[in-house]
Amino acid sequence: MAFYVPFLRLVFAAGIVAASTGPAYAFETADSGEHATNRVEPGFDVVPKSASLHIGWLYSYDNGLPNGYDATATSRPQAGEVMAGYLWQVGGLKDGWPSWIGFYLGWAEFPEQRLSVRTGVLEYGLRVKHALFPGARSRPFLTYGLGTTQVWVDGFDGRDITHQTRVGVGVDISMGESLQFTCEIEWRTQILPTMGGQDWSFSTVAITSGFSYDIGHKPGKRVESSSARRDAAGGAVAR
């Protein structure tokens, strides 16, 4: 259970970062006859977020999962996957390259094959994403994360729970103001040292594609409070 402690600390830190939006200050003009004064009015902006849904293909190149029909053979099972994510933007709000932190949840299914039995994998955890070239139509990115994996193997009672490490690269292709088509390749490793009385650890390469939707503002645009936007439109608020 010791490996859960740093992961839980990361989750706690992510919650603090996502919730800490901080005040945004906007200048409003108060018209008092001949003299106009400016006052600073604190406000809060909605933290930009990104929701995503992907499907993909997994290849277990380093497989310790049990072989169902030939114990002497080495299997390299393949799987289908569906993955969802929800991220809060924490970098590049005003300028620079945007960054996000949040959570992922996915299910991968290794079907019964010639040398391996059916295996289900539930994945969830903390994910960080860094994008390059904000405002470009095609925006490369780097992701990494730590999470938890639950594994069910046909023919074995119960499940095993362990940790997952993942690193990936990809590209977001803009399809509008807030919608992107995403392609990604990712490396993942799962450590299962005790399941079935032996080491069933396995590593995979995942190729996924899907869509992500920005909730808030498009990366690269400045986040402004509602009063600042009214002023920019030429509508000063009279006091």
Distance, CA of 67 to CA of 60 (rounded, Å)? 13
Q: Which of 142, 186, 145 is nearest to 165 (CA)?
A: 145
| % of the chain beyond a pLDDT of 70 | 63
The CATH number of domain 4-14+48-228, selected from 2.40.160.20, 1.10.287.130, 1.10.10.410, 2.60.40.10: 2.40.160.20
Distance, CA of 62 to CA of 70 (rounded, Å)? 17
Supply the pLDDT for residue 223.
45
Supply the pLDDT for residue 142.
96
pLDDT(58) > 70: yes
The DSSP call for residue 239 is: -
pLDDT band at 102 (very low <50, low <70, confident <90, very high): very high
Supply the pLDDT for residue 125.
96
pLDDT band at 162 (very low <50, low <70, confident <90, very high): confident
Residue 129 CB burial class (10 angstroms; 0-12, 13-18, ≥19): buried
C-alpha neighbours within 13 Å on the C-beta side of residue 3: 12
Per-residue pLDDT averaged across 160-171, rounded? 92
Distance, CA of 162 to CA of 4 (rounded, Å)? 9
Per-residue pLDDT averaged across 60-68, rounded? 71
124-133, 178-187, 220-229: which has the minimum mean pLDDT?
220-229
Q: What does 97-129 look like in DSSP terms, one character per residue?
A: --EEEEEEEEEEEE---SSB--EEEEEEEEEEE
* For the chain, domain boundaries: 4-14+48-228
Tokens of 227: 């009063």
Q: How many helices (H) and strands (E) does the chain have?
A: 2, 10
Contact at 8 Å (CB) between 72 and 55? no
Is the pTM for the entire model greater than 0.75? no
Residue with tokens 């114990």: 71
**Rg of the chain (C-alpha set):** 23
Contact at 8 Å (CB) between 165 and 186? no
4-18, 114-128, 203-217: which has the minimum mean pLDDT?
4-18
pLDDT band at 43 (very low <50, low <70, confident <90, very high): very low
Tokens of 97: 């390259």
